Chains A and B, each alone.
Chain A
Amino acid sequence: MTRYIPVILIFMIAVLVGIIVGPAHPTGEIIQLRISRVILGIFAGGMLGFCGCILQGLFGNPLVEPYTLGSASGAALGGSIGILIFGAISPIFAFLGSLGVGFFVFTIARMRGGLFRDRLILAGVVMSFLCSSLVMIIMVIGGRELYEILYLLMGYLGIIINAANRLFIILLIAISLVLIIFLYRYYRELDIISQGLETAAGLGIDIQKLSLIIFFTTSLVIGLTVSIVGAIGFVGLVIPHISKLLFGPKHLYNLPASFILGATFLLFADAVSRTITVYELPVGVVTSLVGVPFFIYLYKK
């Protein structure tokens, strides 16, 4: 438990940085704006970190993340279609995209026998590629909406919050929180699965059912996240590894740590993205830019 203290301290610093650092002098309304941005950052970073961690645990594969399973790419595809049709991003489209692709992946994985869990990864990767090329086609057709799609693909925390979308965003965040608390309850099963599938099966864990539940619930969460802030990369892949380096393999500690670390990391990345230029950089660009050197440093240690 004591190992959490420095992590939580750094998290607090990240929140403070998120509120204090920025181009404008922090007056009342600027602070209001930054707090909303910090909340979005915690939400997105936390969800991505958590989902990445739980997926890596379930699949026993260090390369799995929301993107390899197609849910993030599906959300990006849905969002792009929404932009193409309505000229503005509609969260519902991104969400439906994520669910739709999730369903496809699931169907493909089930088409032939064998271990369902491993087929999910393959089907997810394949669908991810399909989604990316479809998004490319939309970008080519769209022309004028290109910017908007690009920011959806890269992730963007500086969204305008107004009376129309405020409640909606709060609702989506609340739903996501409920969903990940639901997922957190499986930490014991995940620990056992990481010991090996035979052991898990021997202990009476229904791996097929568990994969299905975790796969669909994370697809939901990722769909919700991408629909608000866009498809932010890197966090879901690397944060779980950092969390494992710091907290060991137990999911009881690992999952909440991934949430906090993901949030912390995204807050720092966002602070960088809005201070290094007067322009607003997509935060997804910064996450890998800052994250890769940091990861290499930690890995060496």
Chain B
Amino acid sequence: MNKSARRLRKICRGSAIFLVSVASIFCHCDTPSTEPGFRIVSLSPAMTEILFTLNARGSLVGVTTFCDYPEQTKEIYKVGDFSNPSMERIVGLKPDLVIVNLPEQMRIKKQLDKLQIKVFVSSPRSLDDIYREIAEIGGIVKKESVAESLISAMKMTIRPFGDDEKKRVYIELSPRPIVTIGAQTFLNELLEMAGGVNIFSDLKKDYPVVSQEEIIKRNPEIIILLHPDEIRDRLGWEDIDAVKNKKINRDINQDHLMRPGPRLVEGFKVLREIIND
């Protein structure tokens, strides 16, 4: 009797330890922040940067794993990655506002709409869109004046440079398939302000897949690669002006050009340098 009771207790203790450890494995996630006040979940890395710049860190209760700038984003609860954030984690944070990126996060936006959670849509296609979104989110977090000064600081640097002759620039986002930027992107506008012209600015799609022939035919004077591949020894590319004159730029921080946030200023400076070189 005594023996079996002891065994039972042993089993109980064992299974309790097992259960606790299993539970701790499953719950091994940094506990959500429970700060009072306005609670924002940002699924947009650019918006996360903007909120930091606006000193609205306190409102940010959740971000994605893609939100990697500034350094302090590490401390914020992660709701998943950019394309697949966890709905449960988002809802569990009881956010007052969720910032989503369109068109990539359409599915998430629809789900949030169904749950009647307020959504802020970020989908900038031009510099004006970016400024408008900064002003709007500034209004929401009650940092209107900071937002105003951020916008005017950005406008101060990012202004049209009136070079008479615009250089033909080709920007490659991925080598296989070959993806570049089309007209309706803020990067296209940024490039034009910096005194260049995107060789594919006639294409309506945001991020079109183009053929090598089209690139050779349009003969860019400057090539900007936003991926780690090499370009010099590509078959058939030898006679492109940019390749002949070695005007190929790699090692550019992709986030400076692809994230519609405060660091676009850095990207713009780099573009100016490249085009003036």
Looking at the assembled complex, report how far the CB atom of B249 sits from the nearest CB atom of chain A, in whole angstroms: 18
Asked if B235 is at the interface of the complex by the 8 Å CB criterion, the answer is yes
Q: How far is the CA of A148 from the CA of B239 in the complex (A)?
A: 27
Question: Quick one: which of A142, A156, A166, A278 contacts B235, CB cutoff 8 A?
Answer: A166
Alpha-carbon gap, A164 to B231, bound state (A): 11
Q: What's the tally of chain A residues with a CB closer than 8 Å to chain B?
A: 36
Contact of A158 among B174, B177, B233, B239 (CB under 8 A): B177
Contacts of A133 in B (CB 8 A): none
8 Å CB interface, B226-268 against A: 229-230, 233-239
* A22 contacts B212, C-beta separation under 8 Å: no
Flag if A274 contacts B213 (CB, 8 Å).
yes
CA–CA, A27 to B234, complex, Å? 16
- Interface residue A104 (Cβ < 8 Å from any Cβ of B): no
Q: Report whether B217 and A280 are in contact in the complex, using a CB–CB cutoff of 8 Å.
A: no
CA of A163 to CA of B203 in the docked complex: distance in angstroms? 30
Contact B230 A162 (CB under 8 A): yes
Residue from B177, B205, B216, B230 within 8 A of A147 (CB atoms): B177
Beta-carbon contact of A32 and B236 below 8 Å: yes
* Contact of A23 with B213 at beta-carbon distance under 8 Å, contacts A160-B176, A162-B230 already known: yes
CB <8 Å contact, B176 and A148 = yes
Q: Give the chain A neighbours of B176 by CB distance below 8 A.
A: 88-89, 148, 151, 156, 159-160
Asked if A23 contacts B84 (CB within 8 A), the reply is no
Given contacts A23-B214, A278-B203, contact A147 B84 (CB under 8 A): no
B177 and A148 contacting across the interface, CB-CB below 8 Å: yes
Query: Is B211 within 8 A of A158, CB to CB?
Result: yes
CB of B210 closer than 8 Å to a CB of A: yes
Q: Which residues of A contact B178 (CB under 8 A)?
A: 158, 160, 280
Of chain B, the residue at the smallest CB distance from A156 is B177
A174 interfacial by beta-carbon distance below 8 Å: no
Return the CB mask of B196-212 against A: 1 if under 8 Å, else 0.
Answer: 00000001010011111
Tell me, yes or no, whether B124 is within 8 Å of chain A by CB: no
Chain A residues lying within 8 Å of B84, measured Cβ to Cβ, are 140-141, 143
Q: Which residues of B contact A161 (CB under 8 A)?
A: 234-236
Taking residues whose C-beta sits less than 8 angstroms from the other chain, chain B's interface range is 20 to 34
Q: Say yes or no: B238 contacts A29, CB within 8 Å.
A: yes
Which chain A positions have C-beta within 8 A of B237?
A: 29
Per-position 1/0 for B151-178, Cβ under 8 A of A: 0000000000000000000000011111
B236 and A30 contact, CB distance less than 8 A: yes
Whether a CB of chain B sits under 8 angstroms from the CB of A9 is no
CA distance A22 to B209 in the complex (A): 16
A140–B108 Cα distance when bound, in Å, is 13
Q: Quick one: CB contact mask for A119-142 with B, threshold 8 Å, 1 for yes? A: 000000000000000000000111
- B236 A140 Cβ-Cβ under 8 A: no
User: Are the CB atoms of A279 and B205 closer together than 8 Å?
Assistant: yes
In the complex, whether B83 has a CB less than 8 A from a CB of chain A is: yes
| The residue from B82, B179, B233 contacting A163, defined by CB atoms under 8 A apart | B233
Let me know if B216 and A160 touch, CB within 8 A.
no
CA of A30 to CA of B236 in the docked complex: distance in angstroms?
6
Residue B81 at the chain A interface, CB threshold 8 Å: yes
Query: A29-B236, A148-B174, A278-B203 given as contacts; is B212 within 8 A of A160 (CB)?
Result: yes
Shortest C-beta distance, B209 to chain A (Å), equals 5
Binary interface encoding of chain A residues 20-54 relative to chain B, with 1 for a CB under 8 A from any of its CBs, else 0: 00111101111011101000000000000000000
Per-residue CB contact flags for chain A residues 96-108 toward chain B (1 = under 8 Å, else 0) read: 0000000000000
User: CB distance B179 to A147 under 8 Å?
Assistant: yes
- Please report the C-alpha to C-alpha distance between residue A46 and residue B95 in the assembled complex, in whole angstroms: 57
B210 close to A24 (CB less than 8 A): no
**Shortest beta-carbon distance from B57 to chain A in Å:** 26
Question: Which residues of B from 10 to 55 have beta carbons under 8 Å from A?
Answer: none
User: Does A209 have its Cβ within 8 Å of any Cβ on chain B?
Assistant: no
**Least CB distance, A149 to chain B, in whole angstroms:** 11
Question: A158, B212: Cβ atoms under 8 Å?
Answer: yes
A-B contact pairs, 6 of them (CB 8 A): A27-B239, A140-B83, A141-B84, A143-B104, A279-B205, A282-B177
Sort A-B residue pairs by CB-CB distance and give the 10 closest, nearest first.
A143-B83, A33-B236, A24-B217, A163-B233, A161-B235, A280-B211, A24-B213, A151-B177, A162-B233, A29-B236
